[in-house]
Structure 1
Amino acid sequence: MSRGMEKFWLALVLVVVNALGGQCKGGTTPLQEGFYSGKCGTADVEAVVGSVVASFYGNDPNITAALLRMQFHDCFDGCDASLLLDGTGSEKTAAPNLSVRGYNIIEAAKSAVEAICAGVVSCADIIIMATRDAVFLAGGGRYSVQTGRRDGTVSLARNVNLPGPSISVSDSIKAFGRRGLDATDMVHLLGGHTVGVAHCSLFQDRLYNFQNTQKPDPTMDATLRETLIATCPRNSNVNNVANLDQDPPSSSTVDNSYYKQIVLNRGILQIDQALALDPRTKPTVTAIAEGSDFSTRFGEAMIKLGAFQVLTGGKGEIRRFCNTTRAFSN
């Protein structure tokens, strides 16, 4: 065979391997819906995880906010479950992650899938599946998740780079953009604030000394400010909480109520309120508040977030336990 023909056939083989998702050793398997179908016999891995989530949700509906936050905090620096790892100086110890909760839910789901199918399902995928199920239980749309991630082995607090509650819209757009998410994705993802709470320390400056002006944030609804002052007294040593969605009947439901509130200048966090005022994000906020399909677009944005810097194929590991790098031999 001539050297030219050898090059042709080698190139053709590489094309075929890539088309098959790089299934050869050391290749990269792309994320896909139904990745675990047939990998655990007749067991439905997603249904097993969903059952665990439902049992927790029945006792505490607030787990939806907890799991949304967990996925965001893990995936914003790469969806590899590195947030779950214990250890001195791990991501768990970074200031923005100290209040993350829901680790027990992920461990329970991991135990459930290991009981039927050991060494196959990653902790990184369990976060994604569990969050989707919690969103659905809280009234959101049920979107189809992509799976096939493997777990990371490095978790360092110094690598955590999460946007804070007072970030500007410009800087937020840049931060999301570096993760392959555009401004519209950002607006939908911040819609996760339709559930959950914020501690007074995260927005108290808006009540008393906004941007060192010794005055309140002029963009905050006056009635809301009076309510929040009662919750967050000046110089109080108690770090109380307020619902991120200030419509009580909807504060535990994944819907568009959050957007309706920020249109009325009733946003709690500075970035939330800024979304409704900045000309780059205001049209999207207004459209969602007026009834555009938030559930579908939120699900699409969550899928995009879940694909950021994943480990697949021969990279990473499948952990035995989600809080340690002790892995299966595969």
Structure 2
Amino acid sequence: MEVRVQPVQLLDAQGNLRSHPDYPLDVTPELCRTLYRHMKLARRLDEEALALQRQGELGLWLQSSGQEAAQVGSISALRPTDYVFPSYREHAAAMVRGITPTELLVQWRGNQHSGWSAKRYNFHICTLVLAAQLPHAVGYAMGAQRDGTDEVVTAYFGDGASSEGDASEAFNWAATTAAPVLFFCQNNQWAISTPTHRQMRTPLHQRAAGFGLASHLVDGNDVLAVHAVTQHAAETVRSGGGPAFIEAMTYRIAGHSTSDDPGRYRSAGEVEDWKSRDPLHRLELLLDARGWMDADFRDSLDRECAALAAETRRSCLELQTPDMTRWFDHVVAEPGPHLHQQRDRYQELLSSFLD
């Protein structure tokens, strides 16, 4: 029987702050300004990348607008040494880890499979196949477990991915092995055009609890609550408490991708309702009410956002078209005559096109 529980919330849509007995958080001006800055920069990147895609400079883009609190609040509660397995929409989380616009855009411009070193940032490359990263995260966590480290491996995914068999297998394997993995689900209400109520009869956090995962439900548009819940869950995992699951209730403001028309399957009223719960706006209300954000901070952040947008555009346009013939050199260790013939035919095809 389904038991409805309310998501953990520390900051409501009107900017009112409250405490929670199970998820305490020291809410300081510095913490709020840092979280706000990361969210603001992530949204500005999202806007510029969308413009670049519409102008034909990117093949595809998957927007994270509306989900900044879920990503920034969670990733900032982890240690830099905690390894992360993202899906394909975690641009805000990637930026918190220091991944640059150039590194983020390379894949979406079609230049290579990924633009950054996973080892350098402890942030894996994007996974486009739904839920494929979840078994990988569990396997990596089992390795960390055997190495005797206190690393918490975190896997991001969406509600749609939870319907894949890989998700159920990963949850069960993590629970039975007590792997130090934290599953972070951004429930943005839609799996492309399929709403959550058509995907599942039981809330995700309750399903996860059925596998034996310590489960939490949080308001995913409340960056402070996400930070507090992730902090609590991660430390439990780190101390040997076994795997955990966080369901962050949020909303995808834009389409599933730039190839999607969300107006065909959801109402404008629904979108406007969720926009009223905008994660940036509610933190702005708190910052203003407490006097924690003055004109100098606003102006400095606006300049930083403008510089980020300019750098994003410049770096995207300067990305060089890769030499596609070089891919033939990395298929096998010692290429045979058939592979050489394929490469030669491909080069002939390329030379037949006009510049």
Same fold (TM > 0.5): no
Specify the TM-score bucket, using the shorter chain as the normaliser: under 0.3
TM-score of the superposition, structure 2-length normalised?
A: 0.26
Higher strand proportion (structure 1 or 2): 2
* TM-score for the superposition, normalised by structure 1: 0.27
